[in-house]
Amino acid sequence: MRRSGILLPVSSIPSEYGIGTFGKKAYEFVDFLKASGQKLWQILPLGQTGYGDSPYQSFSTFAGNPYFIDLEELIEEGLLTKEECDSYDFGTNPEYVDYEKVYLSRYKVLRKAYDRALAKGLEREKSYLKFESKNEYWLQDYALYMAVKDSFGSVCWIEWDEDIRLRKRSAIKEYTEKLADEIGFYKFQQYMFAKQWKALKEYANEQGVLIVGDIPIYVAFDSADTWGSPELFQLDEENLPIGVAGCPPDAFSETGQLWGNPLYAWDYHEKTDFDWWMKRIAYCYELYDIVRIDHFRGFDEYWFVPYGDETAVNGHWTKGPGYKLFETMKRKLGDKAVIAEDLGFLTDSVIELVEKCGFPGMKILEFAFGTDATNEYLPHNYKSNCIVYTGTHDNETIMGWYESVDEQDRTYADEYLGIKDGDEVNMKFIASAFSSVAETVVIPMQDYLGLGNEARINTPSTLGGNWEWRMKDGALTGKLAATIYKMTKNYGRL
């Protein structure tokens, strides 16, 4: 089935309060997708972001980002007033997220909503009690973790007092009682997040749009997952990492990428029949229709960097669980729609794993013009079982790439795509993706808008200035929808 979609993070949707939300502008984007003939909306991970603002470094692999809760809906429910929301400073630039201001304002205004919800009988509501019960396996630990973290001035759990750091039973009991109100506040945030996201996803599905979500391969060290279940990870007796995740030197970085995430104790996971992973993946399919598995090659082999190293240069490859994990997934969860993020240098064993799983891999047009006609990212070399992108959240926008690439590669792209003076360069790249044999095409919204690198989402191995771009209100015009619809129809992707 030939189809296409658009990549747009929730954070990049226009809104009044500093960051994209599950509000009316998100519903308008779904309407735009339908009008333009698109079947997929790909987003980035929905997890709660911490330092560095990366959705790939979350305080929990299960919890959602409270920033995405729509305040206007809370106003309609009588939990907030517009005057209260307008009294906070969420940032003044509508084209970029000011995370510091969002952080300093969002939780204060949500706290007001929580207090009013309590007064209205939140803890007796059937829907709230059902949510709490259904998600007990992660929700209590997460809420306790965040409450304790706040009580210690937001430092990482490894710096907490020993009794609670090591989860001694008496300490768990003491903090659960002492911080009951804060724990309730974090549960309320997750309840509102789940309620609003479920409604938005159902609306998208009713319009014929499927949600493509992301499952980061790793969790953050500073997370409820690592604190709550240290046995899942390669930690020493003090619960410090033995090694951390990253990737070797490549085109993105001469010293590799040092992600710093704890590595999995795969022997333990295998002994438990991958129980934690199955819960995690099953939960993803409650949030999304299709799951893109980040850094897929890490399941074949992963880059082990000794803990304390300042770069990833001294790391080494170590065998991962391989096909066993996905065999278990199929046995326990059935056939699921998956996209394998199989970018970077691929060994024969990684290619074999992707093929054995049968998952479609990814093709990036920006990678296509650096060598010759045998380049696997050139459209004439695609097989149908793949997803083609102009670029991803980790790449330049297509116009940013075109303007910054060396002259030889640009000339090759011009000749291959038939680009002439006066052409809309971005649309030439997009048409090439659409015309390929790839079953699925996903185009970042910035590339449809013809934006440069000021709209880039993330530059790997850098801190600051990432995950900030927001789409201008009014960018989704009827004319653009008609242009995309026509291309979708002409290339048989309706």
Helices 478-490 and 425-435: angle between axes, nearest 10 degrees: 40
pLDDT of residue 344: 76
Question: What pLDDT digit, counting tens, does each position of 483-494 carry?
Answer: 999 999 999 999
Residue 60: per-residue pLDDT: 97
Out of 131-145, 189-203, 204-218, 455-469, pick the least confident.
455-469
User: Do β-strands 257-262 and 316-319 pair in parallel, antiparallel, or remain unpaired?
Assistant: unpaired
Q: Give the mean pLDDT of 458-465.
A: 87
Distance from the first to the final alpha carbon of the chain: 10
Whether 171 shows a pLDDT value over 80: the answer reads yes
pLDDT at res. 247: 87
Given this model, what pLDDT does residue 293 score?
96
Q: Which two tokens stand for residue 470?
A: 């927001």
| Band of residue 252 on the pLDDT scale cut at 50, 70, 90 | low
- The reported pLDDT for the residue numbered 317 is 95
Q: Which residues form the catalytic set? A: 294, 341, 394
pLDDT-derived band of residue 254, with 50, 70 and 90 as boundaries?
confident
Instruction: Please provide residue 300's backbone torsions phi and psi, each rounded to the nearest 5 degrees.
Output: -85, -55
Rounded Cα–Cα distance for residues 371 and 215 (Å): 31
48-88 pLDDT, tens per residue?
Answer: 998 889 999 999 999 999 999 999 999 999 999 999 999 99
pLDDT digits (tens, 9 = 90+) for 345-383: 788 999 999 999 999 999 999 999 988 999 999 999 999
Q: Are 47 and 197 in contact (CB under 8 A)?
A: no
Q: Pick the residue with more confidence: 251 or 36?
A: 36
Q: What is the CATH number of the domain that holds 395?
A: 3.20.20.80
Q: What percent of the chain has pLDDT over 90?
A: 94
Query: Average pLDDT in the 158-176 region?
Result: 97
Average pLDDT, the chain: 96
Angle between helix axes 478-490 and 24-35 (nearest 10 degrees) is 40
Q: What is the extent of the structural domain holding 457?
A: 3-490
Sign of the torsion formed by the C-alpha atoms of 136, 138, 143 and 145: positive
pTM over 0.85: yes
For tokens 């768990």, the residue is 172
| pLDDT tens per residue across span 38-51 | 999 999 999 999 88
Q: Is 444 helix (H, G, I), strand (E, B) or coil?
A: strand
User: What pLDDT digit, counting tens, does each position of 271-326 carry?
Assistant: 999 999 999 999 999 999 999 999 999 999 999 999 999 999 999 999 999 999 99
360: left (phi over 0), alpha (psi -120 to 50) or beta: beta
Asked whether the beta carbons of 31 and 18 are under 8 A apart, the reply is no
87 vs 360: CA distance, rounded Å: 48
Count how many domains the chain has: 1
**Counting Cβ atoms within 10 Å, is residue 149 exposed (0-12), middle (13-18) or buried (19+)?**
buried
The DSSP code for 471 is P
196 has a pLDDT exceeding 70: yes
Beta bridge partners of 247: 257
Residue 453 DSSP code: G
Burial 419-441 (b: 16+ CB within 10 A, else e): beeeeebbbbbbbbbbebebbbb
Q: Percent of the chain, pLDDT > 70?
A: 100
Q: Among 434, 436, 367, 361, which Cα is nearest to 396's?
A: 367
Question: For residue 345, what pLDDT is reported?
Answer: 73
